[in-house]
Amino acid sequence: MPSDLNIRLRNDFGELAGLREKLKKFCESQNLPQSGVFAVMLSLDELVTNIISYAWDDRLEHSISIRARCGDGVVEIEVEDDGKPFNPLKYAPPDLSSPIEERHIGGLGIHLIQTYMDEIAYKREGERNCLLMRKRV
């Protein structure tokens, strides 16, 4: 039976703990396997952290909308924000073979999301970034 979770966060790192708790309870209520819970929680945490860190140039309060759905063996998470346009799928994965001192800063979070999720799609709708992630469980 499909189930939904809707969360609205402020662009504040203090909101992450509540997000983690709500997402964990949602995953547990859906009886997801630990591997699926880990993948979903890590990916969403990384994505929201990046949004809070980089989406806005001002110090104003903004909101991030998250909707999680579970059904038919798939967890689907949609994340929307009104930050600067940013398509994470346009960026090449980091070079993990080079020594750590020679690597460029950034890009590892996007790589983790692409590694742990089965599908990722991005679109810009009006003034909003919309990222859809799916994980088969």
The CATH number of whichever domain residue 72 belongs to comes to 3.30.565.10
Residue 40 phi, psi dihedral angles, 5° rounding: -65, -45
The answer to whether residue 104 scores a pLDDT higher than 70 is no
Indicate whether 100 pLDDT > 70.
Answer: no
**Digit-coded pLDDT (tens) for 31-81:** 999 999 999 999 999 999 999 999 999 999 999 999 999 998 999 999 999
Q: To which H or E segment does residue 7 belong?
A: strand 3-10
Q: Which of 34, 49, 63 is nearest to 108 (CA)?
A: 49
Domain range for 70: 3-136
Contact 96, 68 (CB under 8 A): no
Which pLDDT score is estimated for 106? 54
Q: Is the pLDDT of residue 1 over 50?
A: no
Number of domains in the chain: 1
Q: What is the DSSP secondary structure assignment for residue 12, as one 8-state letter?
A: -
Prediction pTM value: 0.86
pLDDT confidence of 17, banded at 50, 70, 90? very high
Write the burial class of residue 87 (CB in 10 Å: 0-12 exposed, 13-18 middle, 19+ buried).
exposed
